[in-house]
Structure 1
Amino acid sequence: MDSRRTEQVFPGNRDVGLIKLAGDLCMVVACDSAGGIGEKQLDAVKVPSYVLGRFTLRVALMEVLSVGADPCAVTAAICSEPSPTGEGVISGIKDELKSVKMDLPIVISTEKNIPTCQTGLGVTVIGTVHEKSLRMNNTQKGDRIYCIGIPKVGNEVRLEDPEIADSMLVKELLNQPLIHDIIPVGSGGIKREAEVLASHLGLSVKWRDDLAVDIMKSGGPNTCVIATGPEELHLSCAKPVSLVGMLS
């Protein structure tokens, strides 16, 4: 048995867990769940299993990518039968990985004993990163807060919507060295994510008066992200970009 000791670190302001391994290497873990979304009789939001698989994987993948980690494995806990629901979900997961040019091992479990009338899914993404490469909690006083994408939830969410954030956007933002933090926005909304970050760093948020996005609204499956950086940071991308506030 490997006798190396591991230290678990769960930053209170991020939806990832860090597990310190040998040297300065860390394992990064993120997960997402979906319930009542799918094609079954009692599902509240009707979408193909394929779409469910793509978005659920996307959420966890964006979280891992956003802290600078390299994803290395995926798990999919599908609370439904292997076919057709399971097949649709896995097809969506694989295509979402292909969209960011990744081919990762996927550990899969499906419900083979009990018939189900509502869809449930849990996805985990595991990655690794060296501590010196972590892109987390680098925000500074005076940084601007930008929202990239538009918060959408439930039936508003469409796979090919050009206004929403995705995993490729996070990868592109990571290539901009002036960006201090990238935070995917889920059910907590823009306001909560920014204020949790600020509180963690002993800062406060001054919101703009002329906000172009609803900072209180749920971001659903990470349909937008916030990015922080200095005044000289100028973001240019295919997604909608809004300056929403400043940290003081």
Structure 2
Amino acid sequence: MSESIVFAPLDDGVASVTINRSATRNALSLEVMEALIDTLAEVGRRTDVRAVIVGSAGHVFSSGHDLKEIRGADLEAQQEIFDACSRLMQLIQTIPQPVIAQVQGVATAAGCQLVAACDLAVAAESARFATPGVKIGLFCSTPMVALSRAVPAKQAMRMLLTGDFVSAEDALAFGLVSDVVADDDLETGTADLARKVASASSATVAIGKAAFYEQRELPVAEAYARMSQVMAHNAVGTDAQEGIDAFLSKREPRWQHRG
């Protein structure tokens, strides 16, 4: 595994994936993105991990792409960088485990995109977010994909057109993050949320995560038709029947993590 990424199993089915490039403000270089892709793909194949926290070393979550790589690169090299970024963001939403961003400092450009792409995000109250590419002549077009699906259109466009920072509280109000905690509580607050997510049946959560991203791209009638099928198949599964029986019997469920 690359030294730029640190994988650590925690407990209760939770693992952490840490970007370990504080000297570059955890910039998403091609090497870092490819290492993240490899690590998260491996996480997706593990049955002992039911939730994963994506964080970073140091005082900055991520400053976005490594501009030193982009400066002077030819079209082929540029395409390789942005294709890797797109693969990373899509992978986050296709692995079965919920991915939770743990955000301190600033998350800018592709770093903000990474937050938006995660299923949940916990931000320290001092954290700030921006998509400032417009200020250097490089519009945040790939970050826009994740941002515009997490944040209402007018707020997304304001961030993209001005490059201004938004606070953690504003990010919470917009829907860019799911939780804001005191700076000193960031690690424990994120871990508590991850453990809560991991306490459910991993089979049920995987069904729900995949269904969420599938249905939101469908017209309403088609979404209902498809989700009716998904829920019917879920309902006859091992863990759904166990959970229903446990609820009706007033006992704790004993998950087998099987659909």
TM-score (norm 1): 0.28
Indicate the structure with greater helix content.
Answer: 2
Using CA pairs below 8 Å that are at least 6 residues apart, which structure has the higher relative contact order? 1
TM-score (norm 2): 0.27
Indicate the structure with greater strand content.
Answer: 1
